[in-house]
Amino acid sequence: MNETKLYVGGLSYRCSNAELREAFEKAGAVEDAAIVLDRETQRSRGFGFVTMADAAAAQAAIEMWHEQEHMGRTLIVNLAKPKSH
């Protein structure tokens, strides 16, 4: 299981990849931040994934952001589950 990739739910539909990265950098180094877009409309689906530099930073981000408000919405932050095939 990847201990550095986080699922982030409850994102504002106005939140950009850069804003997501900036928010999570408050908890530690961010390797990647990507909001999932609807294939047809290219609009945010309200969730995304953030990959932190290490497990300690990932845990710090969970503690910092889970059930906290960002851009007017309450975030759900936890370790991303592996893709099921």
Which tokens go with 12? 């504002």
The domain segmentation of the chain, as residue ranges, is 5-79
Q: What is the CA radius of gyration of the chain?
A: 12
- Position 2 scores a pLDDT of 80
DSSP string, 23-59: HHTTTS-EEEEEEEE-TTT--EEEEEEEEESSHHHHH
- Position 82 scores a pLDDT of 82
Q: Which CATH class is domain 5-79?
A: alpha beta
Distance CA 58, CA 27 (A): 8
In tens, the pLDDT along 29-44 reads 999 999 999 999 999 9
Amino acid type, 27: A
